[in-house]
Amino acid sequence: MESSQLIGGTVMNEAIEFLKQNLNKNETVVVAVSGGPDSMVLLHLVNNLKQKYSLKIVCAHVNHKLRDESEDEADMIRHYCTKNAISFEYMTIDNYKDDNFHNDARIKRYTFFEECVNKYQANHLLTAHHGDDLIETILMRLIRGSSLKGYAGFLETIPRETFIILRPLIQNTKTEIMEFAKENKIIYAVDQSNEKDIYTRNRIRKNILPSLKEEDANVHKKFYKFSKTLELYSNYIDKEVKTKLNSVYKNNELDIDKFKKLDDVIQMKIINFILEEAYQDDLILITDKHTDMILDLIYSDKANQTVSLPNKIGLKSYNIFKIIEDLDNHDYKYELKKEVSLPNGKKIETIKEIPNNTNFTCTLNSKELKLPLYVRNRMDGDKMQIKGMEGTKKVKDIFIDEKVPLEERSLWPVLVDSKDNIVWLPGLKKSQFNKQKDENYDIILRYY
């Protein structure tokens, strides 16, 4: 039976109706529960629908191990679940990346939640984001800058590949949730870190939100409508983008010439799409500053150029733009014996006969070199004497002449002897050390 608090007159009516409309009978739902009043109220609401809808409820709790009370809170939730015949899934986070604690914690949480969904083959994941959270998120995005979709805050319903994320409390305020918890004697924990002014969200919550509510007690409804309006417009533009996207963006590469012919709004949406695809759960790291940087790069007159993005590189190589992993830390040096496998996925091997006379083969006389030979990546200032040319030429200039994509240059193999003389640039140029078929040689190499 549903409790009397669920029948008419409760501030939770909209949340309850949302649950009734979106949950199916005999299904499994995962509820993300922190132990705070919001998530405990949500768990209470779902639990009160369990019998009527024959629901199997899974409570997923993450212990961040940042406060002394964390273990007690986990025990509190576990006890509630045992008492109400709810499955309890639990994980702890033992360490975090130093660069972005909040983002790292969020990624770990949602990875765990998704694991729970898959384990129980659940249809829905429920989170306790409420109306005040939505206001705070929208204001934070306005301050930091974002995309059209980003300015909408977060959505009430988010389809994923195998399940749907639902946020039933999105039209309720924190005050309403606290009142409901008190009336229904719902136990919960209080996280004191939510009061610290070091976080932007907390400052908005303490200093800005009260003023907005003084202007209009139902301001959360206005922000909800604003969010839905932006979502509506964003979805419409997305449909228009899809008609253009495949013609300008294939295999994670943007055709710059075709892109420049599109309307400015469509261009911006395509850049946002590329960023969303590249960052996915890390999209919180991206602001409108990064979008502007990418557009400036695309419209730059320089053929090869990069911009630094969070943990990645935006790369323009002639008529192509793409987002790749950071190019740093790719230095390598291998001794060449019979065969060596390279970081770019190719190989150099010694062979017995010359298969062709292209730049993919090299013939050398060991008496003219200081052995052993090594394969390494390009170093700043590298020069080589090309076969048949006087003087030397910078390897950097060879890459430019041969139109080697910028992202491939850091890994491109350079064959050197023990004195660091460049004897071959595989696939591109032979050096003065290379021998013709009628000359003396005792080393034959192939790059493939």
Residue 332 or 91, more confident: 91
Dump pLDDT digits (tens) for 172-188.
999 999 999 999 999 99
- Residue 229 domain-assigned? no
pLDDT at 309 over 90: no
Dump pLDDT digits (tens) for 376-410.
999 989 999 999 888 899 999 999 999 888 778 88
Range of the domain at 267: 251-325
321-330 average pLDDT score: 73
200-221 average pLDDT score: 94
Last residue of a domain, one of 180, 203, 223: 223
| Residues 119 and 157 grouped into a single domain | yes
| Residues 187 and 257 grouped into a single domain | no
What is the CATH number for 151?
A: 3.40.50.620
45-72 average pLDDT score: 93
Instruction: Decide if 423 contacts 362 (C-beta within 8 A).
Output: yes
CA distance 415 to 443: 13
Q: What tokens appear for 141 in the block?
A: 């995005």
- Residue 242 domain-assigned? no
Total number of domains in the chain: 3
CA distance 59 to 389: 72
Residues 6+ apart with CB under 8 A from 61: 33, 34, 35, 74, 77, 78, 88, 89, 90, 91
Most confident of 262-271, 283-292, 406-415: 262-271
Model pLDDT, residue 101: 64
- Residue 440 domain-assigned? yes
| Residues 281 and 259 grouped into a single domain | yes
pLDDT at 230 over 90: yes
Residue 342 or 78, more confident: 78
Phi, psi of 269 (to 5 degrees): -65, -40
| Residues 311 and 414 grouped into a single domain | no
- Residue 378 domain-assigned? yes
Residue 168: cis peptide before it, omega within 30 degrees of 0: no
| Residues 173 and 98 grouped into a single domain | yes
407-433 average pLDDT score: 93
- Residue 304 domain-assigned? yes
Model pLDDT, residue 99: 52
Confidence of residue 312 (pLDDT cuts 50, 70, 90): confident
Model pLDDT, residue 7: 38
Dump pLDDT digits (tens) for 274-286.
998 888 766 777 8
- Residue 240 domain-assigned? no
| Residues 357 and 414 grouped into a single domain | yes
What is the CATH number for 295?
A: 3.30.465.60
CA distance 91 to 78: 12
| Residues 263 and 219 grouped into a single domain | no
Dump pLDDT digits (tens) for 4-19.
344 334 789 999 999 9
Dump pLDDT digits (tens) for 49-61.
999 999 999 999 9
Instruction: Decide if 164 contacts 157 (C-beta within 8 A).
Output: yes
| Residues 216 and 263 grouped into a single domain | no
Confidence of residue 137 (pLDDT cuts 50, 70, 90): very high
| Residues 166 and 304 grouped into a single domain | no
Residue 66 or 413, more confident: 413
| Residues 384 and 367 grouped into a single domain | yes
Residue 10 or 157, more confident: 157
Last residue of a domain, one of 305, 325, 345: 325
Model pLDDT, residue 6: 44
294-307 average pLDDT score: 90
| Residues 318 and 391 grouped into a single domain | no
Strand blocks (E) in 300-367: 304-309, 312-317, 320-325, 333-336, 339-341, 347-350, 361-364
- Residue 172 CA: distances (Å) to CA of 15, 23, 127, 251, 278: 8, 19, 13, 43, 33
Residues 348/353/359/365 CA torsion (nearest 10 deg) = 80
| Residues 311 and 338 grouped into a single domain | no
233-242 average pLDDT score: 89
366-384 average pLDDT score: 93
